[in-house]
Amino acid sequence: MTETTTMEISTKRFGVVEIEDDLILDFPDGLLGFSDASRFALIHPSDDSSLLWLQSIDDPNLAFVVADPTDFVPDYTVSTRPEMASDLGLKPETLDQDWQPLVICNRSEGWLTGNMLGPLMIHVESRRGLQVVLTDQKWGTKHPLLDLNPQPLRKSA
């Protein structure tokens, strides 16, 4: 049985939290607009939430709300390309292994939106990731995921 190790990180939102190593992600090139931030932790605010926090390990003030886009849009896919493995320093054969897409979420005009055009692709085994930019016009940077102001049900006559 392998022993799980943890580390403590400081966060603005949650204070000091203990994170298991398997929730630490490395983005060697950082994220778009944040090239210096390369180490992040995935924080699960609750067991039943589809939303996670991607918290910088090195900057307590830097965190993003992220989600698996397929929880909201089941037909969302991102094709893996050979350069993705190469960019992460992985062998080409790892391209066939599991990749987890995550999208950065924001609140916009009463909606939870996701940046479906710039997903984060996490190589599950190595826990290394990169942000890719898609050219598919089907997706946008503020793709509606969830109506935050649902209409109340009307009583029938």
Residue 84 has pLDDT above 80, yes or no: no
Res 92: pLDDT: 66
Residue 11 has pLDDT above 60, yes or no: yes
Residue 74's Cβ-count burial label (10 Å; 0-12, 13-18, 19+) is exposed
Res 69: pLDDT: 95
Q: Please tell me the distance from the alpha carbon of residue 95 to that of residue 98, in angstroms, as a whole number.
A: 8
Confidence of residue 57 (pLDDT cuts 50, 70, 90): very high
Residue 105's Cβ-count burial label (10 Å; 0-12, 13-18, 19+) is buried
Residue 157 has pLDDT above 60, yes or no: no
DSSP 8-state secondary structure symbol assigned to residue 50: S
pLDDT (tens digit per residue) in 85-132? 777 777 766 666 688 899 999 998 889 999 999 999 998 888 999 999
Q: Please tell me the distance from the alpha carbon of residue 56 to that of residue 53, in angstroms, as a whole number.
A: 9
pLDDT (tens digit per residue) in 135-152? 888 899 999 998 888 777
- Which of 133 and 81 is assigned the larger pLDDT? 133
Residue 155's Cβ-count burial label (10 Å; 0-12, 13-18, 19+) is exposed
* Closest alpha carbon to 87 in 79, 96, 76, 95: 95
Confidence of residue 1 (pLDDT cuts 50, 70, 90): low
* Closest alpha carbon to 106 in 75, 42, 63: 63
